[in-house]
Each structure stands twice: as C-alpha cells, then as structure tokens.
Structure 1
Amino acid sequence: MANVEAKARKILIAVDEGEESLYALSWALSNVISENSKDTIILLYAKPPRVVYSSLDGTGYMFSSDIIASMEKYGHDVADCVMEKAKRLCKDLHDVKVETKVENGDARDVICEVAEKLGVDILVMGTHGYGLIKRAFLGSVSNHCAQKVKCPVLIVKRPKSVA
C-alpha cells in the first residue's frame, strides 16, 4: 500500500482572557497537532461588542470622545495581550502555520461564523465548566458552538487540579 500523506488541516482555536482557553490551546498542541504536519492553526479572539449605556429616563449617557477612544484602546490592548499569550504557546511549532484573527461581536456568533467562513476541519475551545444554574443564566459559548457549527468540535475542560 502506498504511503499517503495526511491532508493538511485547518484547526480553529478560540482564545479569550480565561485560563480555560489557554489550557485548551496547550492541550490541542500536545494532542491534536502533530509536529511535522502541514496543519494551519487559526487563533480566534472575539472582541466583545462595546456596551452602550442608557438611563431609564431616556436622557441617556454621553461619553466624550476621549472616553470612547480610551475604551477602544483598552479593547485592542486586551485582544493584543490574549493573542501574544496564545502565540507564545505556539512558538515551538515548526511546520505548522499559525494565523491570528480578531473579530468584533458576541463570541457565540463570531466563532460559528468564522468556522463556517473558513471551512475549518475542527474547532477547539475551552469551557468554563459552569454548573446548570450559571449556564442557564450566562449561556454556554461552547455548547452553542457545538450545536451550530458543521465541523467537529473539541471542547477541552481544564482539570480542577491545574492552577
């Protein structure tokens, strides 16, 4: 039988400020990505939408352009910090291509849309491991994505013993 080279895969890994996503990235690097593969890892950060505040009496709040610019800068700084940490974890990969993508919007929608648009082979993401009550109030990004995307989804739960 002829030696058939494995198809290069596109692996989307969702990252955020939480340790859970960096653990999922580390786990995927150890268990999913093979060192000499021609895989492409796409690190995705969904920058939360800017919150618009308004008062109940209809007058609303006015933000100066300085405050809005400061909020925008903070959002960019957080995205840069998350991506730098994630890229550092990938630094020792040799034949694996690493791309980064920062998109604006709700993480649930952004992750699903990017997975679909890029036609990825697998989506890897961490989970906060919320209980039933918290999940009911906050929703589960990983559960939402597992239900919506067409590719396989690998949800990595960080063990409690990992500090």
Structure 2
Amino acid sequence: MEKEGQKIVVAVDESQESMYALSWCLSNLISDTSNNILVLLYVKPSPSVYSSFDVPGNIFSSDAIGVMEKFGRDLAASVMERAEAICRNIDTGNIKMQRVIGSGDAKNVICSAVQKLKADTLVMGSHGYGFFKRALLGSVSEYCAKHAKCPVVIVKHP
C-alpha cells in the first residue's frame, strides 16, 4: 500500500508574495518520495462587493455587475494558471494538485477551507505591511496563523 502524503494548502492571489510562497513550499516542503496533495486556494472578493449601489447611490446596471463577475472569474483563472506554471517549473515528483476557489472575506474563507479540506499545513505569503497599515487593514496571514486548525507557514518575500 502506498504511503499517504501530506495535504498542503497554499493560499494564492495576484501578489508576488503568494507566488514566492508557493515556490518556497515546492522547494522546501514537498518531498519527491511521498504522495503529497497540493491544494491551490484562491479567494475571490465577496459578491457583496458588487453591490447594487455605488458610492453616490446610483444603481449599477446588470451589465456592469456581469462585467465585474466575469472579471473576478478571469482573475481567478489567471492566478491559478500562474500558480500551475510555477508548479510545472519545479520538479514536484508524485504530487497531486487541486484547485479550490472560494468567495468572501479571505481570512475566514482560508480558515474554513483548511478545516474542511483537513489540511496538514497552510502556506501563505506575507505582504510585509508595517504596523499602521496592518492595524488599519488587518493581516490575513496573521489572522490565519491564530485561527487556522493546522500549522501555518508564513513565507516572507526577500
């Protein structure tokens, strides 16, 4: 019987930091000798972002909402293609790859996904925000480090 490998979830987005974290993960956490499962997790902004009203209170047409939804789908596909290209460029041995696309608040979706997927490890990039920006915007990686139900590896881009 073949030995079961680790299930490693890598949170990816449009940033260089997340793609660097994926490369780091492939080079440092994935072993050629085990049947690892790599889950590429992308979180689209919540549909509530595409509200029926813009800031001044004008109603968006259904065409505009459709365009925004298509943009979100295209962006998710683009991010996944970039991530898969990185995986192809690094010899990953017997790795199985899955794509998971969630929608909503990134920190909550990521923590929920690692629990549902029964992940062994979560790997994330860090944007390296300073104290004030992190205080205002919050840090997804910091939140996940505290709340995810598995070990979390936060990779800083050099």
* TM-score where L is the length of structure 2: 0.91
Q: Once the two structures are superposed, what CA deviation does each residue of 1:93-122 show, in whole Å capped at 9, x if it has no partner?
A: 331001001011111011000001111000
Query: Contact 1:122–1:151 (CA<8 Å) still a contact in 2?
Result: yes
- The answer to whether the 8 Å contact 2:31/2:92 transfers is no
SS in 2 for 1:26: helix
Matched, 1:78 2:71: no
| Cα drift, residue 90 of structure 1 | 1.1
Which position in structure 1 is the counterpart of 2:66? 69
CA deviation after TM superposition for structure 1 residue 29, in Å: 0.4
Contact 1:40–1:97, Cα closer than 8 Å, also in 2:
yes
Q: CA RMSD in A?
A: 1.5
- In structure 2, the residue matched to 1:18 is 15
Which stretches in structure 2 are left out of the alignment for 5+ residues? none
Question: Which residue in the other structure is 1:140 paired with?
Answer: 139
Count of residue pairs brought into register by the alignment: 152
Out of 31, 48, 52, which is 1:34 matched to? 31
Secondary structure class of the residue paired with 1:8? strand
Which structure has the larger Rg over C-alpha atoms? 1
Structure 1 unaligned blocks of 5 or more: none
Corresponding residue SS for 2:31: coil
- Higher normalized helix content (fraction of residues): 2
How many Å separate the matches in 2 of 1:80 and 1:135?
28
Contact 2:18-2:125 at 8 Å conserved across structures: yes
Query: Which residue identity does 2:122 align to in structure 1?
Result: L
Counterpart CA distance in 2 for 1:89 and 1:36 is 20
Counterpart residue number, 1:158:
157
Distance 1:40 1:20 in 2: 21
TM-score after normalising by structure 1 = 0.88
